[in-house]
Amino acid sequence: MTRPWCRIESFDDLARHQAAILERIEQLPSGGNLFLLHPFLLLEDLGVELGEDFKRGLVAKQPALATLSEQPYRALRAGGRTPQAVQVRLRGLFHPEGHPPARKRAPKARAPGTPR
């Protein structure tokens, strides 16, 4: 195994390196899709090493991370340079609370004269 270019031990480390990691993910065909399939494998492939305590904390907040299958990730990764029809664009990696805060949505527009 090659030496990682980045080691993440905390959310402070993640915040410090997130922009560079997102940039590397964006350069891959279907990089965002790969992250959704198996974020730990993608980060490992990119040379990002997650500390064991940090990784355990992520799994504690998002238990589904412990049950991800490697097969879909490996299949997409082996698919070459052809991007998927639907592309996922990441704005961040992991949220300290285990999930991102809900975004407020603008109210739907109504036709003039439509009752509220």
Give pLDDT, residue 93.
Answer: 77
Residue 111, classed as helix, strand or coil, is coil
Contact 49, 6 (CB under 8 A): yes
pTM assigned to the model: 0.74
User: Can you give the pLDDT at residue 96?
Assistant: 63
Question: Could you state, in order of their start, the residue ranges of all structural domains in the chain?
Answer: 6-78
Q: Under a CB-based contact definition with an 8 Å cutoff, are residues 21 and 12 in contact?
A: no
Using left for φ > 0, alpha for ψ between -120 and 50, and beta otherwise, residue 30 falls in left
Say if residues 91 and 84 touch (Cβ distance below 8 Å): no
Averaged over successive runs of 10 residues, the pLDDT of the chain (116 residues) comes to 82 90 89 90 94 93 92 87 72 64 61 68
